[in-house]
A and B are shown apart, each in its own frame.
Chain A
Amino acid sequence: MRATTVDREQSATYTYLICLAAWAVPGAGHLLLGRVQKGLTFLIALTLMFATGLWLEGRLFPIEITQPLVALAALADMGIGLPFFIARQVGSGAGRVIALTYEYGNAFLIVAGLMNMLVVLDAFDVAQGRK
C-alpha cells in the first residue's frame, strides 16, 4: 500500500515530536521509540555528565551575539535540553572563573549538550526507520 500524503505528513510530525522529546529530555526519544536500554543509558549518562559539569563549577553561557564563541558555547549547552533551563532557573551554572575546575566544568557541560544533539539525530534515524 503506498503512503498517502497524509501518512507522510503524520510520519514527519511524529518524527519531529520524537526529536523534540529527545532534545528536551536526554534519552526520551529512544524510550518513546521502544529502545529502552539505549534510552535509559542516555538519560543517566548525559544527565550525570551535565550535573558533573555543574558540580565542577562550570558556566552555562548566555547567548551573546557580540561574543560569537560565547554564543556557540551557549548553543552547545542548550543541547542538553530542559536540564539547561532548570539549572538556570534554580541559579545553578553561574560558574566560578577562579575555580580550579572551571574549564573542566565547561567542557563537561558543552560536551553533554553536543552529545545529546547526536542522540537526537540517532532518534531521528530510528523514527524514520533507517535503524
Chain B
Amino acid sequence: MKTSHLGLMILFALYVSVVFGTLMRDDSKEQLRFGAQLFGAFVLGGIVLGWILYFFPL
C-alpha cells in the first residue's frame, strides 16, 4: 500500500476533498456531496491523465 501510486493518489484526493468540501460549503449534507464530487473528479482526472500520458514516449 505504501508504494501504490493509485493508493497514494486516492489518499491525497481524499484529504484534499474533505478539506475543500468543508471549506466551501456550510451545510453538512452539501459538504458531503461537494466533497464526494471533488473526490470523484480528482481520482477520475488522475486516471484519465495517466492514460493520456501513457501514450507519450519517454
Contacts and interface: CB of A to CB of B under 8 A. Distances in A.
Label chain B's interface by main secondary structure. helix
Contacts of B15: 45-46, 48-49, 52, 108, 111-112
B19 interface: yes
A90 interface: no
Interface residues on B, range: 10 to 19
Interface in A24-56: 37-38, 41-42, 45-46, 48-49, 52, 56
A100 B12 CA distance: 16
Contact of A42 (B2, B3, B19, B28): B19
A23 B11 CA distance: 23
Interface stretch (A1-9, A14-22, A74-82, A114-122): A114-122
A92 to B, nearest CB: 17
Q: Which 10 A-B pairs have the closest CB atoms?
A: A49-B15, A41-B22, A45-B18, A115-B19, A100-B3, A104-B8, A45-B19, A38-B22, A122-B23, A45-B15
Given A107-B12, A111-B12, 16 more contacts: A37-B22, A38-B22, A41-B19, A42-B22, A45-B15, A45-B19, A46-B19, A49-B19, A56-B2, A101-B2, A101-B3, A101-B8, A104-B12, A108-B15, A111-B16, A131-B26
Interface of A: 37-38, 41-42, 45-46, 48-49, 52, 56, 100-101, 104, 107-108, 111-112, 115, 118-119, 122, 131
